[in-house]
Amino acid sequence: MSAYPVMLDGAAIAALVVGGGRVGARRALALANAGARVRVVAPTFADALREAATRSPALTLTARAYAAGDVADATLVVAATSSREVNARVAADARAQGRLVNVVDAPGQGNFVAAATHRAGDLVVAVSAGGVPTAAARVRDCLAARIDARYAAAVAALAALRRQTLRDRGSAAWREAADALTGPDFCAAVESGEFLARLAVWR
């Protein structure tokens, strides 16, 4: 699958997750945490899903087998059942209606994959590994050990400086500041603690 990575606004997503087991629960909860409206269709549900649904009006559970009409108005579909046949039907229905669809046991049948992600504040690192999610998770964990709260603080400070500079001095001034602060030694400066001292000059 040739990939073009994007980040979607969770609040703009109406998601359908077919499958209420461990994998379906993980995908549904991640979507709900991103602000999406999530509908899960499955005969049974993991305890974590049931508990989350009692707390979140954005997460609804439909206890039955998948039916073709379930795609409905979903903008994003996840096929996460333990049945190869059901997942293939979900994929075919979603693709026929032009929806984004992820098939957990056969990524090639979908048109997007879920990356392994690490978040440090507003900084998000996503890793995909050719359909091998365990490899992506290992690389993600390796990166997470380095990209910690120091990066979260640096990115938050940059975002605040960007807003202030654009408001008070314009885009040319922001480009000058960004070029100076996010040059080739950005990571080294963040990790050494020097970045925040550099930032003070531009405030």
pLDDT tens profile 39-58: 999 999 999 999 999 999 99
pTM of the model: 0.80
Comparing CA positions, the residue from 78, 38, 76, 75 lying closest to residue 58 is 38
pLDDT number for residue 114: 84
pLDDT number for residue 1: 59
pLDDT number for residue 7: 82
Average pLDDT of the residues in 107-136: 88
Measure Cα distances from 104 to 28, 91, 110, 157 in Å: 13, 10, 9, 37
